[in-house]
Chains A and B, each alone.
Chain A
């Protein structure tokens, strides 16, 4: 696999992880109240 593809995979994994955490936070904020950003980031 080329170096470019490795970099793409790392970005995809990082983005998935961050978006997963953000999704939980967004759902909880919608149900319970809260700010999407601020406090303990993500």
Chain B
């Protein structure tokens, strides 16, 4: 082979193996695959886009297990990620299918996303979830699946909303909330923890950023002065799940990346402290090399989902 042809062949092989390397990052281990189930009619019935309100986004999907002969069922709600501004319940089909395959009625619930032209906030979204749960339970009952207990979970923004429901609203739920689980959901809003967005309490600029960020998230007008004197904490309390743990100390399984650039890892430490303080049966997984995607600690990610599985079996056993 001529030198030129050999160099060309080397470049082609390099590019091909480079692409294969990229693709291989998306391959899940056999153990992890167990928790990503593709939906099929063999699993049961999927009812899509049921309404729980008049809003365009106020819809939920209901995954009903094949076995419809039981007296009662556990409900597993999983709320989608997307920074409160994007995402859809359809993105969690594999997680919801896995939960349904375990014998639960599973539900993915959409909520009104924040846009430049509306005033949706974490508070209004959490209120939508509160409004949706009785409708989800009613729809399951109408389909022949009476619900007697529930767990609520989610990823990132969905995890935040799930924790708010479990700790803040869980006592008002139509059925007992026996477990909450999820990953990388923000659970507290102390300005000094949110330095990744330029927020803080030390300088005027930091306080202005914090006031702006927390105003949008809480749906309350917060000023830099309130950041400085600490009075903003009362205004963000309704969306700060960690502040509500004592109200309804639900068993909890969570995972957080220590290098998270999207939601502050420091905030998760406050959640951990609240869980500890309130003697909650909890499991807190810290992924030391990962960020918001929990992408660099596969062994711990696997341990997290295996623990979720075990806690589901413990607190919401399928009869």
* Chain A residues at the B interface, C-beta cutoff of 8 Å: 1, 5, 8-9, 12-25, 28-29, 31-35, 37-40
Contact = CB atoms under 8 A, between A and B. Distances in A.
15 contacts: A5-B1, A13-B16, A16-B18, A16-B20, A20-B22, A21-B22, A21-B24, A28-B293, A29-B295, A32-B295, A34-B296, A35-B289, A38-B289, A40-B296, A40-B298
Interface of B: 1, 6, 9-10, 13-25, 257, 259-262, 287-293, 295-299
Contact of B289 (A9, A31, A34): A34
Contacts of B298: 39-40
B13 A39 contact: no
B17 A13 contact: yes
Given A13-B13, A13-B14, 11 more contacts: A9-B13, A12-B10, A17-B20, A29-B296, A32-B261, A32-B262, A32-B295, A33-B260, A34-B295, A39-B289, A39-B298
B21 A16 contact: yes
Contacts of A38: 288-289, 296
Contact of B261 (A9, A19, A33): A33
Contacts of A21: 21-22, 24-25
A20 B9 contact: no
Contacts of B15: 16
